[in-house]
Amino acid sequence: MGAVTETLPEAKARRVAEELRRIGAAHSPAVLASSLGAEDMVLTDLISREAPGIAVFSLDTGRLNAETYELMQQVKTRYPDLDYRIYAPEAADVEALVQGYGPNAFYESLDLRKQCCHVRKVKPLQRALAGNSAWITGMRRLQSVTRKDLEPETWDEANGLYKFNPLYDWSQAEVWGYIRAHGVPYNALHEQGYASVGCAPCTRPIAAGEDERAGRWWWEDPEAKECGLHLNRES
Ligand code: SF4
């Protein structure tokens, strides 16, 4: 994570830059979904320099860490020409959820956790993707058991557009090599042992040797650890 350093994967970064330009030209309009994690910052940096026609969006679930909001702010100042969009859940949906079950009901059952993710993430994602031809993510095969078969390109049947995962074959060390070499801003949570960035109550630091997504919904079965944003064949 933050402490990892390795030779910059220049060749891989060049290939990803070419791929982003190709996506931007062939699948316009295209958008990057950024959770403000390290991988998303690599892609945000590459898009700002190599494929400025691609927009970037983040989902403000209302339950993010202060460090994540700080990075959201930094993205706006560091990349002033970037088309950066922030989507929030519908206030009425959040009110109904919290009034019905309480603010932290996601710990009580998988069903309630998925309801919360649906309101705070999936529905805003659908608005963010509407009208686009393709979306891009920072997912990698090595992140978790749910992503080991991740393909670089798929058809997202649920959302009706192409989905690209240009960092699918990158290692964690390669991601950090790029961030260090290019002075890319990153989430301070990574310095505290967080490998994956998500909502504050549902994400925690991981121990050495743990699966990179072990800190997400740690009370659940590893096979269930996706939030509904990535429910295609690879997840
Ligand atoms: S990650 Fe947790 S707080 Fe965030 S939307 Fe899902 S259940 Fe709700």
The set of catalytic residues is 227
User: Exposure string (b/e) for 180-213, b if CB count within 10 Å is 16 or more?
Assistant: eeeebbbbebbeeebbbbbbeebbbebeeeebbb
Please report the pLDDT score of residue 173 as a whole number: 92
Contacts of residue 14, Cβ cutoff 8 Å, sequence gap at least 6? none
Asked if residues 154 and 233 have their Cβ atoms less than 8 Å apart, the reply is yes
10-224: CATH topology is Rossmann fold (3.40.50)
* Per-residue tokens: 229: 């944003």
**Nearest CA among 40, 235, 33, 228 for reference residue 149:** 235
199 annotated to a ligand binding site: yes
Give yes or no for a contact between 120 and 187, defined as CB atoms under 8 angstroms apart: no
Q: Does residue 135 have a known ligand-binding role?
A: no
Between CA 130 and CA 235 the distance in angstroms is 21
Which candidate, 128, 135, 121, 122, places its Cα nearest to that of 61? Answer: 121
Dist. CA 53 → ligand 1 center (Å): 31
Q: Which of 183, 173, 196, 176 is nearest to 65 (CA)?
A: 196
Q: Which is the closest atom of ligand 1 to the Cα of 63?
A: 3
Which residues have C-beta within 8 Å of that of residue 166, sequence separation ≥ 6?
16, 19, 20, 23, 43, 136, 152
The answer on whether 153 is annotated among ligand-binding residues is: no
Q: Which residues line the pocket of ligand 1, CB cutoff 6 A?
A: 61, 63, 106, 113, 116-117, 120-121, 198-199, 201-202, 227
Atom of ligand 1 nearest to the CA of 121: 5
Give the per-residue pLDDT at 2.
45
pLDDT, one tens digit for every residue, the chain (235 residues):
444 444 557 899 999 999 999 999 999 999 999 999 999 999 999 999 999 999 999 999 999 999 999 999 999 999 999 999 999 999 999 999 999 999 999 999 999 999 999 999 999 999 999 999 999 999 999 887 778 899 999 999 999 999 999 999 999 999 999 999 999 999 999 999 998 899 999 999 888 777 777 788 878 876 666 666 775 433 3
Where does the chain show beta strands of DSSP type E? 30-33, 55-59, 84-87, 134-136, 153-156, 161-164
Q: Any residues with CB less than 8 A from the CB of 63 and at least 6 apart, and which?
A: 120, 199, 200, 201, 202
Tokens in use for 124? Answer: 């805003």
Q: Residue 143 has what pLDDT? A: 83
Contact assessment for residue 138 and residue 39, using Cβ atoms and an 8 Å cutoff: yes
DSSP assignment of 60-117 equals --S-B-HHHHHHHHHHHHH-TTS-EEEE---HHHHHHHHHHH-TTGGGT-HHHHHHHH
What count of residues does the chain have? 235
Evaluate whether 143 touches 107 at the Cβ level (below 8 Å). Answer: no
How far, in Å, is the centroid of ligand 1 from the Cα of 130?
A: 22
